[in-house]
Amino acid sequence: MSAPSLTQAQDEPAAAVQTGDDVAAADEVAEPNSNPDDKAAQLAGDRPQRASVVTGQGTMALQQQWPQSALWLEVDGADGTPTSVLSLVFTPLKNAATIGVVVLADEGHNAGEGFVTAFAGSLADRGLAALTLGLRAPTGGLKQVMERELPLSEVSPAVSTADEGQQPQPVAAGVAETSSNPDPDPMLIDVMAGTELSEAEVQYRQEVAAQLRAAVGYLKREGYPKVVIVGVGRGANFATALPELAGSAGLVWLLPKFYPRDLDVLAERFTETPRLRVLDVQAARGNRSQSAMQRTTVMNQVGVAQYQRQRVMVQEPVQAQQGDALASRLAAWIKADNKPAMD
């Protein structure tokens, strides 16, 4: 497969957003590429069949699209109950690989999303084993809280009301003023009125961390002692927060979108792992330049010696046809023997 120029990819018309019929009722989020006739799925289907592994939402659709690639990962749920998640793995057809890559998709995307599978398949073409994981979107109220951290002054304690049967509303009123939704999600009110990190958010983060651990563990058991973790978009938050990150062969932020809280504690994540290799791939054009500069400043202050930032000409959201070019960059970075240079 020839790698298209990233500059050319930016000038190409954006591919139509593919939305499947399989909808996660709890989150009310349409799952990308859940239609077996999806164009991106056809692109991936043109590849020779590999031993593969897949996690994410829309399990029935994923099994139909990748009938010989499905693998159930055993994961400990947030409440301690064992559960299984469906995940996809791409392994090289030639040469024995020693490096595995876990690719955590962007928020709301499953393991078979068009870009994720094109990216993972291209990594396998370059001699790397790649396992893809989906990232379930948080429910409406929790999503809003994670995206916008309210100042303490905006969260006031409940006040008594004349009618004892009426629930106090100060927090809900604050939400209505800052949200276009006139009827805030009850979870949003509960989370905002609670502690800094709500039980709902803790459980959600633990769920994603457990899936990452299961994916890393699987690759290592399969004979890939070195594992690089890639977080796409919102996935960068969870890849960075993984406690076992220090034992990985590297961390990649692929067009990252950090939550405010995660960006605030970024320095703490790397205090104990200053030698960790980190690749920060960001779009050359876009409205997140301030966040990118903040990340670079933090990494320099902490002294992460092997932090590298690369700016690329890609569309956002990233399209399936850009997967090969980005995989080429990542494979070169992973295999590089020399110390990455700061830009």
SS3 per residue for 199-228:
HHHHHHHHHHHHHHHHHHHHHHHCCCCEEE
Among residues 202, 215, 207, 22, the alpha carbon closest in space to that of 109 is found at: 22
What is the pLDDT, as a whole number, of residue 5?
36
Residue 117 CB burial class (10 angstroms; 0-12, 13-18, ≥19): buried
What is the pLDDT, as a whole number, of residue 253?
97
With contact defined as beta carbons under 8 Å apart, do 111 and 86 qualify? yes
Give dist(CA 321, CA 181) in Å, integer.
36
What is the pLDDT, as a whole number, of residue 337?
52
| pLDDT-flagged residues of the chain (< 50) | 1-56, 150, 152-195, 338-343
Q: How many residues does the chain have?
A: 343
With contact defined as beta carbons under 8 Å apart, do 87 and 71 qualify? yes
| 136 DSSP assignment | P
What is the pLDDT, as a whole number, of residue 64?
80
Q: Give the Å distances, CA to CA, from 48 to 152, 230, 273, 299.
A: 55, 24, 39, 40
What is the pLDDT, as a whole number, of residue 180?
42
Q: Provide the β-strand partners of residue 85.
A: 73
What phi and psi, each to the nearest 5 degrees, are found at residue 30? -70, 135
Give dist(CA 66, CA 149) in Å, integer.
39
- State how beta strands 19-24 and 29-32 pair: antiparallel
